[in-house]
Amino acid sequence: MIQLSEQRLPGKAGVHIWNISLDNEKLDLPELLSADELSRYSKIKHHRARTGFLRTRASLRLILASYLQCPGEDLLFDYNENGKPELIQISSDSLRFNLSHSGNYCLLVVAEKDEIGVDIEQLQPGRDYAALAQRFFTATEYSMIEESLDELLFYRMWVLKEAAVKARGMKLLAGLDRFECFVDEREQLQIRDKLEHQLSGDRSIWQWQPEEAVVAAIVASAEKNRFEEKMLTEIL
């Protein structure tokens, strides 16, 4: 059975960002999955989707188990009312995580105690992003999209909003209107919680492009976090 070397939690001011390739055949480890995960896996008809589900769940279990120093198959998860997973091991009280994947790209973020959300998206040529912005974004955000006519800006706003929603453990469609992107005095894209009147200075955000046609964002509940990238391929 594969077991990763011991990983230390990133500390109170840190976030570990695990880059995972879903092309990695070493992640074909159905023996790690729980009974309910195996049931879900068996019901997926599309081969690529089945493989992606298996490798995503296997990598999640391997990495989290490396922090807790236990077999990956022993991990137990609970889900809040909106489907956000949490570990229920006694030894996992200080470990927080979130996962996102798009195509063959997968990101897992791990923090110590801070609530955290991540989202990654591949740009889709020909997508009517203006119509999506009009439907799901606030009026202010839609105006920004209309003025810029910038497809990349739409995706940067989308992943930032979704990461903020996931950090709060909310349903996506219920939270997209609550969190609003804006450009600060440094011309940087930021986000605020409209209900609590909190600016992004109350939390840490990180936005980047893993590749030219891929955008990603992280939102953590504490400010001034340090972000450290890790590659699963380097230790698997």
Q: What DSSP assignment string belongs to 143-211?
A: HHHHHH--HHHHHHHHHHHHHHHHHTT--HHHHTTTEEEEE-TTS-EEEEETTTTB-GGGSEEEEEEEE
Residue 189: Cβ within 10 Å count: 17
Given this model, what pLDDT does residue 200 score? 46
Given this model, what pLDDT does residue 202 score? 65
pLDDT tens over the chain, length 236 residues: 677 889 999 988 899 999 999 999 999 999 999 999 999 999 999 999 999 999 999 999 999 999 999 999 999 999 888 778 889 886 777 899 999 999 999 999 999 988 899 999 999 988 899 999 999 999 999 999 999 989 999 999 999 999 999 998 887 777 788 899 999 999 899 998 888 755 444 678 999 999 999 999 999 987 767 899 998 877 77
Q: What single string gives the DSSP state of each residue in 123-158? A: --TT--HHHHHHHHS-HHHHHHHHHH--HHHHHHHH
Beta-sheet pairing, 179-183 with 77-79: unpaired
CA angle 195, 159, 193 (to 5 degrees): 10
Q: Say if CB 116 and CB 92 are below 8 A apart.
A: no
Domains of the chain: 14-112+225-231 (3.90.470.20), 120-220 (3.90.470.20)
pTM: 0.92
Tell me the three state secondary structure of residue 50: helix
